[in-house]
Structure 1
Amino acid sequence: MNKIALVIGGCRGIGRAISLELSNQGFYTYATSRNPMHVKAMNGVTPIYLDLTNQESIDNAFAEIEKNHGKLDILVNNAGMSIPKPFEDVNATELESVFRTNVFGPFLCTQRAFPMLKRGGGRIINITSILTKRALPQNSIYTASKLALKGFGDVLSEEWFKYKILTTNLVLGATYTDLWKDVHDVSPKDMLNVQDVSRAAAFIAASPLDVRIDEMMLTPPKGIV
C-alpha cells in the first residue's frame, strides 16, 4: 500500500515541487490550497481545498483523507506568508493574518493529523526559515512566526516520538519562486531552487522511522541570499 502524504500549501512554489517529488517517489500525495483557482490537477497529485484560517475547512480536508485511506504517513506544513516592512508600520490585521497562516493553521492541521499519523507512525516536516538563525531587518513578524513553528516542532520531537511520529524542521535559505521574479537585484543563481528543497523533503519523508532527523538546513552558497 502506498504511503499517504499531505502537503499544506502544496499547489504552488515550494509546496508544489514537494508534492510532485513525493508523488514521483511513490507517495499517494494530497496538495492543499485555500485559493480555489490553484486547486487543479497535477501529475500524480490530488489537489484538495483547505483554508488554514478556517477550522471547518481543516476538518473537512482531513476527514476526506481519513475516509479514503484511514491513515496519514507524512504531513508537510509548508503554507506561509510574509509581509516585509518595518515593525513600527505593522498593523494588527497584518499581524493576525501572518500568525493565523504561519502558526495557528499548522498547529491545527498537526493536531488534526495526530490520530491518523499515530495509527502507523509517520513524519511531520515543518518548513521553517534561515531567519530563525539569522535576523534580517523588516522581517519581524515573519521571523517570529517561523520561530513559533520551529519551537513547536522541537517540542513535538520530544513529545510524539513514543508514537513513532517524528518531526523535522526543514530550515530554508532564500529559495527562488515566482514571488521573487519582480524583485530587483535578486538572481536565481544566488538562491536555492525548489527542486533542492523537494529532494530534501522527499529524503526525510522516505527515511525509516528508527532515524530521527530533528533539523535539516539548506542554504545557497552565500548563506542566505
Structure 2
Amino acid sequence: MVDDHAAGPGAGQVAVITGASSGIGAATARALTAQGYRVALLARRVDRLEQLATELGSGTLAIAADVTDRDALLAAADRVQRELGGADVLVNNAGVMLLGPFGSEQREEARRMVEVNLLGAMTATEVFLPQLRQGGGDLVNISSVAGRTARAGNAAYAATKWGMNGWSEALRQELQPDIRVTVIEPGAVATELTDHITDPSTKQNTEQFYAQLAITAEDVADVIAFAVTRPRRMTLNEILIRPTAQPG
C-alpha cells in the first residue's frame, strides 16, 4: 500500500528508523515522511512511537523493539516485510551517551554503550540487510564527532563511535554498489542524550555546553533526508555536522 503523502523523491519507499521515539530518530521520521517515504518506527517506548505514528498518518508502523534484542528485531523485520513490502532505507539511530570518567564505576554504562551504539547497529543491519538488498537500498549510521575526536571523559562513548565509523567504511566497500552506506557524525545536538548522564559533574558541564550552541534534531534529519534522496549514481559517504560555534 502506497501512502498518499505528497509525492517526493522517496515516494513509495520504506524507511526503518531505530531509536525513533525522540530526538534525531523522530525528526528523521518526519523529514522522510515529508519526502514520501512510509516509515517503520522502532524503539522501546511504544507509547511515544504510537503518538508519532498517529501524527505521521497511514503507511507508518510503530514497533516496540530494543536493538539489543535480536529476536525483537527479527520480528520487526518480518512485520516490515509483510505490511510494507520491505525496507529500502535503514537508519541506525538508536544510541546512548553515558559520558563520565573511565573506571569501575562506569563499567555497566560502558557495556551498555557498546551493546546499544555499536552491536545494536550491527544487529539491526544484519537483520534488515536482505531487505535492503532486494532493490538496492541505503544504510545510514548515526555516529558522532566523537568518532573523530576523543576527549577525556568520553572514552567508552568515543570507542563506540570510532567503531561505528570503521565498521561503516568497511561496509561501504563491501556492499557497494548495491547498497549505499552513509555515516552521519553530528556534534552537539539538542536531544535527550544528555538526560541520561549519571556523573554529576560531567552532566552539568555537558548540559551547559549544549545549551550554548547545540543545533536541533531537525537540522540533522534534514541532512539525512537529503543524503538518501540523492541520485543512485552518487553517495554521500561521510557527513560531519558541527554547530557553527563548536570548536572541536
The TM-score range, normalised by the shorter chain, is over 0.9
Give every structure 1 segment of 4 or more consecutive aligned residues whose post-TM-superposition deviation is greater than 6 Å. none
Q: 1:3-36 CA deviation, whole Å, 9 max, x = no partner?
A: 0001110110111101111111110011111133
CA contact (8 A) 1:130 1:224 kept: no
Q: Does 1:165 align with 2:179?
A: yes
Q: 1:79-103 CA deviation, whole Å, 9 max, x = no partner?
A: 1012211112444422221111111
- Separation of aligned partners in 1, 2:50 and 2:236: 32
CA contact (8 A) 1:174 1:224 kept: no
Q: Note the C-alpha offset of 1:159.
A: 0.3
Q: Does 1:194 align with 2:217?
A: yes
Q: Secondary structure at the match of 1:221?
A: coil
Q: Note the C-alpha offset of 1:168.
A: 0.5
* 2:189 aligned partner: 175
> Which structure 2 segments of 5+ residues have no match?
3-11, 196-202
* 1:145 aligned partner: 160
How many matched pairs?
224
- Identity percentage over the alignment? 25
Change (3 A) 1:89 1:18: same
> Which structure 1 segments of 5+ residues have no match?
none
The alignment yields a C-alpha RMSD, in angstroms, of 1.9
Q: 1:118-152 CA deviation, whole Å, 9 max, x = no partner?
A: 11101111111001122222111111011111111
Amino acid at match of 1:62: A
* 1:19 aligned partner: 29
1:44-59 equivalent positions in 2, closer than 5 A: 44=56, 45-59=60-74
Change (3 A) 1:180 1:141: closer
Q: Secondary structure at the match of 2:63?
A: strand
1:63 to 52, 72, 78: 78
Amino acid at match of 1:109: A
- Separation of aligned partners in 2, 1:152 and 1:28: 27
1:204 to 203, 227, 231: 227
* 2:199 aligned partner: none
TM-score, length of structure 2 as denominator length = 0.84
1:29 to 24, 30, 39: 39
TM-score, length of structure 1 as denominator length = 0.92
* 1:40 aligned partner: 50
Amino acid at match of 1:173: G
Q: Note the C-alpha offset of 1:205.
A: 1.5
Q: 1:161-207 CA deviation, whole Å, 9 max, x = no partner?
A: 13x20100111010012445784534545111111101000001111
CA contact (8 A) 1:173 1:224 kept: no
Change (3 A) 1:213 1:66: same
